[in-house]
């Protein structure tokens, strides 16, 4: 089960291949802690980091 997490899509850019790249310092806040993301970090589909599918999270957050 993916932890509940919060991220600001304004701090990321969606790439043509569906991945997302961080464009300024950002925090991903989850039930397990706060994770710092640095500019240039890219997250790909179906890839989990810290137990979070960041692409899925950004896609959902951006759709709202």
pLDDT of residue 1: 44
pLDDT of residue 12: 97
pLDDT of residue 2: 53
pLDDT digits (tens, 9 = 90+) for 3-60: 588 999 999 999 999 999 999 999 999 988 999 999 999 999 999 888 899 999 999 9
Q: Provide the Cα torsion 31, 34, 35, 37; round to 10°.
A: 120
Q: Provide the Cα torsion 44, 50, 51, 52; round to 10°.
A: -50
Query: If we measure between CA atoms, which residue out of 13, 55, 52, 20 comes closest to residue 35?
Result: 52
Task: Using the Cα atoms of residue 8, residue 55, residue 14 and residue 61 in order, give the sign of their dihedral.
Answer: negative
Q: What is the pTM of this model?
A: 0.86
pLDDT of residue 36: 95
């Amino acid at each position: 089960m993916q932890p509940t997490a919060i991220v600001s899509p304004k701090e990321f850019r969606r790439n043509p291949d569906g991945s997302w790249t961080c464009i300024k310092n950002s925090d991903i806040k989850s039930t397990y802690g706060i994770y710092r993301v640095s500019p240039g970090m890219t997250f790909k589909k179906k890839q989990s980091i810290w137990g979070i599918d960041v692409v899925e999270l950004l896609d959902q957050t951006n759709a709202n």
